[in-house]
Structure 1
């Protein structure tokens, strides 16, 4: 990962973990605890892609595994968030921007369900049967509901911050958009193409005008030279007649 991504991801993950442990976990809500860490990982993965999303998810989950009160095996949540970040990053478009909020909303729903199921599955493999006593169906419904309620406030904000650390896509990156511009970025580069087009057209008009002016001057000079030559010929003929 690039340094600018690390400098943004690390504070966001730490702040999300502190809020989740100190505030959300103490609300005593029925069912699951609102997973703020999951939403931050999703927001970063939707901008950084599958590689960046998997790395952010792994280190965020590992930090959550080590943070007190840790009541599960270390690496359990790191594995879950690593897979979630990788899959969410696969939905990132080539130009880095989603055209609508439908796909991120579907990603949040799938991540809430998938993370709960994977967390329970990994727990059953290591001998943790707490999910059976609570009820997996209640955990799925409550986790999905809480994440959907928090997603409109968390995911767009994280994505906006993450885009500030990303370089602008190059013009003519072969994305198949007209005029060789990056897809979804035409409005951002329109003023550049318009300005260059106006300058080029003005330069062409000036060159045409200069060519026309030169042609007129040349024709005028040619007319004057022809007239003077005819006058000389007339004078010579007149002298011969005399």
Structure 2
């Protein structure tokens, strides 16, 4: 793994995390904000593959778990993003990245990641939310991520492709 790719990944996750916890709470829809960090992990998976995306997903998840105003058990986002990185990376290995497959991958990844986060909270008895409330959060999260995909994913994918074009999937 090249130093430039690691630095780029750190910068992308840091910017996404800063925006997610500082700017986007002001445009929250029924308390749900877009998950920009998830979009960075998906973008990395689509360009670099599952292995890189899983490592990035773990690091990004830990950062999101520890970023204020975190009110949950640390490690839940890390687990969710590792699985998202793996699944999105495997999709990228099997399918050509067209706009339709990218949107489908983002929708599936958002559903999977948010569901894993919610289900781990139920298992750990972390949130005080009922299952119908969690389902509403998952649906709103998928909607937010799909709305932001055309604005975020092309930039993220271009960044990861440009740093080492010969190694892109």
TM-score normalised by L of structure 2: 0.91
Q: Does the residue aligned with 1:140 lie in a helix, a strand or coil? A: helix
Aligned residues: 168
CA offsets 1:156-201 (integer angstroms, 9 cap, x no match): 11001100112426xxxxxxxxxxxxxxxxxxxxxxxxxxxxxxxx
- Written as runs of structure 1 = structure 2, the 5 A alignment for 1:112-191 is 112-132=110-130, 135-168=133-166
Residue 24 of structure 1: aligned partner: 24
TM-score normalised by L of structure 1: 0.65
- Name the CA distance, whole Å, in 1 between partners of 2:166 and 2:76: 36
Task: Specify whether residues 85 and 150 from structure 1 end up closer, same or farther in structure 2 by C-alpha distance, changes over 3 A only.
Answer: same
Residue 67 of structure 1: aligned partner: 67
- Name the CA distance, whole Å, in 2 between partners of 1:136 and 1:68: 21
Residue 99 of structure 2: aligned partner: 101
- Name the CA distance, whole Å, in 2 between partners of 1:20 and 1:99: 26
CA contact (8 A) 1:57 1:78 kept: yes
- Name the CA distance, whole Å, in 1 between partners of 2:25 and 2:128: 17
Task: Specify whether residues 134 and 23 from structure 1 end up closer, same or farther in structure 2 by C-alpha distance, changes over 3 A only.
Answer: farther
CA contact (8 A) 2:80 2:117 kept: yes
Q: Over alpha carbons, which structure has the higher Rg?
A: 1
CA contact (8 A) 2:72 2:127 kept: no
CA contact (8 A) 1:120 1:131 kept: no
**Cα RMSD for the two superposed structures:** 2.0
Deviating beyond 2 angstroms after TM superposition, the runs of 4 or more aligned structure 1 residues are none
CA contact (8 A) 1:50 1:86 kept: yes
CA contact (8 A) 2:114 2:138 kept: yes
Structure 2 residue runs of 5 or longer lacking an equivalent are: none
CA offsets 1:39-82 (integer angstroms, 9 cap, x no match): 11111111110000000000000001111112111111111011
